[in-house]
Structure 1
């Protein structure tokens, strides 16, 4: 059995949980385009976009559900408790997803709320956490992880630009204080000053989910100079098509093999609704899939 399968995500088409615009394409069209391009799975996107229950299974039509984003405000105890309702709703959708081998079961992706106006600490002003705030923050991450496990799903924490866990140092601290697995996102780590290839090796025993995206530090630099927010960085193409940014994609694939990674790799090319045509998004994701196929995935 092949131990790595490749998925994509609605965010590559401008459909994501924090967007305030209508989806630029129907779920049926997206699923059909990804299946035609040779993807084996898809991320959930906003709850309801792909449907729920029997409607979800019917819409996926052979694709598997790879994971889904659950955004929680770990820095705020009150808001965190409120957010657990949304986490449970995401897990409810997972419970009705098509059956899959254990290593391909959908992964709850524990997102870290932050401020989209503040990002890229190496050259910007992302918030970071005070030393005294880390224990409480980590304890709430652990609570969320345990809640997922109680429901039969193994979660993975997603470091992210513009949040409290952004840089390699932030990730190291979180891994020290929790037992949660990591969703290693190559693009977010690259633009936060990290080396995704080195990170995969160093954190190999904690990597449970992988998002593969490219990054363009020149676009990041101009975005920081212009004072725009994280969403605008996405809209400007800060996360480039695979092979057009600075990610060492062959190195990433090579190390995935070296460390014996099993599970999903999810290609993402975060963008905003309306910045690129639907046709271009479809073509980009087909080309991205081909890039990994050429490297043996």
Structure 2
């Protein structure tokens, strides 16, 4: 049986915006709509005390599926700077995990950080991509995050390709996956971001093609 979840971003609460909607209201409406799981959302939006967060989930019959965190992966020292936040999120996820369904740490490049990529989102050309050296740094940083999360919280890291970030196009997604260990990093396949990253309109066939291409990861 397929179970469907949602996240605070669907209520407009994302990256510091839309926090006027109390998390209790968001979770209640999520359940009323028929969803059975949620992501954490921005750190601090939901309770950061594990006991309190677990209570809020259990009384609504919800499963915590994961949490999204952007890191500027092409910068050599970015993981070190982000480590405290990464650990806080990963440990919180582990402490409220459903024994039958371990949550994921959802890693992404820090979207919107590069003005040129942001302006060309949805129409990225190869010359706007990372250099071979930068790709190595990017992949190494992603694997470093995954090792931290696995080592400290026992959770799997999955990568979210994103518009206005350095892994956006189908080719960039494929290259990132080629450079990283599948045992360390899986893929969150975002159909909307994928189609946007192709620069084409879609009747659904592009998204299905992407799912077939990257589904095993």
User: If the TM-score is normalised by the length of the shorter chain, which range does it land in?
Assistant: 0.7 to 0.9
The 10-residue stretch of structure 1 (113-122 or 188-197) with the greater mean CA deviation from structure 2: 113-122
Whether the 8 Å contact between 2:38 and 2:64 is mirrored in structure 1 is yes
Q: Which has the higher contact order (CA 8 A, sep 6+)?
A: 1
Whether the 8 Å contact between 1:120 and 1:161 is mirrored in structure 2 is no
Structure 2 distance, partners of 1:12, 1:106, is 19
Aligned counterparts, 1:39-50, within 5 A: 39-50=35-46
- What secondary structure does 2:189 align onto? strand
Structure 2 distance, partners of 1:59, 1:154, is 24
Counterpart for residue 88 of structure 2: 89
Deviation for aligned residue 1:170: 0.5
- What secondary structure does 1:198 align onto? helix
Structure 1 distance, partners of 2:119, 2:79, is 21
Deviation for aligned residue 1:67: 0.9
Structure 1 distance, partners of 2:74, 2:53, is 33
Aligned counterparts, 1:139-178, within 5 A: 139-150=140-151, 151-178=153-180
Q: Which digits, 9 at most, give the CA deviation of each residue in 1:127-157, with x for residues without a partner? A: 5212221111111111111222222101100
Aligned counterparts, 1:3-42, within 5 A: 4-16=2-14, 18-19=15-16, 21=17, 23-42=19-38
- What secondary structure does 1:129 align onto? coil
- Listed as ranges, the gaps of 5+ residues in structure 2 are 200-205
The 10-residue stretch of structure 1 (117-126 or 158-167) with the greater mean CA deviation from structure 2: 117-126
Q: Segments of 4+ in structure 1 off by > 3 A?
A: 119-122, 124-127
Q: Which digits, 9 at most, give the CA deviation of each residue in 1:175-195, with x for residues without a partner? A: 101021111111111111172
Q: 1:83 to 1:127 in 2, by over 3 A?
A: farther
TM-score, reference length from structure 2: 0.85
Deviation for aligned residue 1:114: 3.4
**RMSD of Structure 2 on Structure 1 (CA):** 2.0
Structure 1 distance, partners of 2:65, 2:29, is 16
Alignment length, in residue pairs?
A: 200
Q: Which digits, 9 at most, give the CA deviation of each residue in 1:29-56, with x for residues without a partner? A: 1111111111110110111211121110
Whether the 8 Å contact between 2:124 and 2:197 is mirrored in structure 1 is no
The 10-residue stretch of structure 1 (158-167 or 193-202) with the greater mean CA deviation from structure 2: 193-202
Whether the 8 Å contact between 1:127 and 1:162 is mirrored in structure 2 is no
Given candidates 197, 205, 208, the residue that maps to 1:197 is 208
Deviation for aligned residue 1:79: 2.4
- Listed as ranges, the gaps of 5+ residues in structure 1 are 207-297
Q: 1:124 to 1:172 in 2, by over 3 A?
A: closer
Q: Does 1:109 align with 2:110?
A: no
